[in-house]
Structure 1
Amino acid sequence: MKPLVLICSQDPELYLFLSHILEVDGIRSKLASGVDEALALAVEQELRAVVLDCQQVGAAAAPTCARLKREARDSGLPVIALVAQGAQNQLLNLLKAGIDEIFVRPFVPASLLDCLNGKLMLGQAGSKSVQNGRSLCCGNLQMELAGHRVRRDGFEVHLGLVQFNLLRHLLENPGTVFSREELISAAWPDNIHVSARTVDVHISRLRKTLKTISSSSIIRTIRSLGYSLENPDG
């Protein structure tokens, strides 16, 4: 059966446009015109992703994302946000809510398809993300880039977009010490102001999440300099 993507929007033209390009790519879609309907469908049906039109739901976007992550039938359900240009407050709230990906409107349809295809094929044996080497490993930690999935000791670790980006940057360069400014450039959108303290908070949360799987901490704090990922082979 073709994978099913839920589109939460009150814009029928957007839905028709998205449903058409998804169908061409072999992906079914279903429309939820309101937040309650989207949450109900996420509980009842086996969805592979949710596209959330934040321009329509407004201030409810971040709480909706958080509830989808918490209540959906699939606890790892990817949620992708479509936001208007200049919506900095909405971006920050979505990042805090654990959004998986953000596209600023107008967006390139091919980029959305690439994102969805990466997430949709993750659960398949021999997925392209692994076959093509699009994964990062360090010790017992593995990251599949296309699917935005992380595993430690074989157990899945659920991360929000910022923490995923932070970990990816560290995994790409194990043993390298990165300043907070370098981590900000790697993990946050260019148009958002982030303080050094915010980096510390997200690193602390990332450590806590990783330690729920294994008690050891693999992210080192280098005083006055920044952070580094332990390289077990180094």
Structure 2
Amino acid sequence: MQPLILIVEDEPDLVPLLTYNLEREGFRTIVARDGEEALLTAKEQLPNLILLDWMLPLVSGLEVCRQLRRNPGTRETPIIMLTAKGEEDDRVRGLNSGADDYITKPFSPAELLARVRAVMRRATPGVSEETLRCGELVMDLAAHRVKRSGREIHLGPTEFRLLRHFMQHPGRVFSREQLLDMVWGRDVYIEPRTVDVHIRRLRKAINENDDQDLIRTVRSAGYALETVPA
């Protein structure tokens, strides 16, 4: 699945511009028009990155950023502030609130895309263009292969996508509904219990030699990928 970016912006003319340029580069986008909607959407959709306007109705961008940083589910989500405020004190306030970067309006689409890619690279240091590394696990995205401690693991397409999502967010707990959205897609209707079937298959594959179980079940919450040092 392509990375999902939450655009939090209330300027009607700017939203289509942001959406068009990001989707043209292969990102998926969702939009929130005010601070309250931004907080709710970020917790429900778990985007890979948030573009957050400073001046928002209902809840300011600064307060949205602070609340996201206090929430365990969104604490590590990269945030880029978008604002017309360009003074140094304002930039410092934005960064001190928890933002990863800061872009002053007006900005070029090329600058925006460069900042997005740079922040996402910093936020996921185990990710290169073609390889994911998470403890003992190594996923070659180009060759569609997975190894654990050098041993090749054979996965079906769905298990591969599921493991890729976990490796991109190690340690984070995802509910069945969140996994369905992120791995299968929001427009596909599948019973939530289907996730359990694929989790069992994934567990069997990566724990084939009675290795430590890397998939943690969190009662009433969901699943997470545990990391074991390589």
State TM-score, norm by structure 2: 0.50
Q: Percent sequence identity over matched residues?
A: 30
Mark the CA change 1:102 to 1:70 in structure 2 (over 3 Å): closer, same or farther: same
Q: 1:60 Cα shift? A: 1.9
Mapped partners of 1:29, 1:21: distance in 2? 10
Q: 1:72 Cα shift? A: 6.0
User: Mapping of 1:1-234 within 5 angstroms?
Assistant: 1-56=1-56, 60-71=60-71, 73-120=73-120, 123=124, 127-128=128-129
**Residues 81 and 101 in structure 1, CA contact (< 8 A), matched pair in contact too:** yes
Mapped partners of 2:61, 2:127: distance in 1? 34
**Residues 45 and 73 in structure 1, CA contact (< 8 A), matched pair in contact too:** no
Q: 1:109 Cα shift? A: 1.4
The aligned amino acid for 1:127 is S
| Cα shift readout 1:91-122 (whole Å, capped 9, x = no counterpart) | 23212212100011111211211121234456
Q: How many residues align?
A: 133
The aligned amino acid for 2:33 is S
Mapped partners of 1:100, 1:74: distance in 2? 13
| Cα shift readout 1:36-92 (whole Å, capped 9, x = no counterpart) | 111111111120111011144598222211111222624210110112144454323
Mapped partners of 1:15, 1:49: distance in 2? 16
The aligned amino acid for 2:104 is V
Alignment RMSD (CA, Å): 3.1
Mapped partners of 2:102, 2:38: distance in 1? 18
Q: Which runs of 5+ in 1 are unaligned?
A: 131-154, 157-234
**Residues 36 and 59 in structure 2, CA contact (< 8 A), matched pair in contact too:** no
Mark the CA change 1:55 to 1:126 in structure 2 (over 3 Å): closer, same or farther: closer
The aligned amino acid for 1:115 is R
**Residues 35 and 58 in structure 2, CA contact (< 8 A), matched pair in contact too:** no
Q: Which residue does 2:195 correspond to in 1?
A: none
**Residues 52 and 79 in structure 1, CA contact (< 8 A), matched pair in contact too:** yes
Mapped partners of 1:110, 1:72: distance in 2? 32
| Cα shift readout 1:20-45 (whole Å, capped 9, x = no counterpart) | 00010000111101111111111111
**Residues 36 and 58 in structure 2, CA contact (< 8 A), matched pair in contact too:** no
State the SS of the aligned residue for 2:81: strand
Mark the CA change 1:57 to 1:95 in structure 2 (over 3 Å): closer, same or farther: farther
Mark the CA change 1:29 to 1:126 in structure 2 (over 3 Å): closer, same or farther: closer
**Residues 59 and 90 in structure 1, CA contact (< 8 A), matched pair in contact too:** no
Mapped partners of 2:75, 2:100: distance in 1? 13
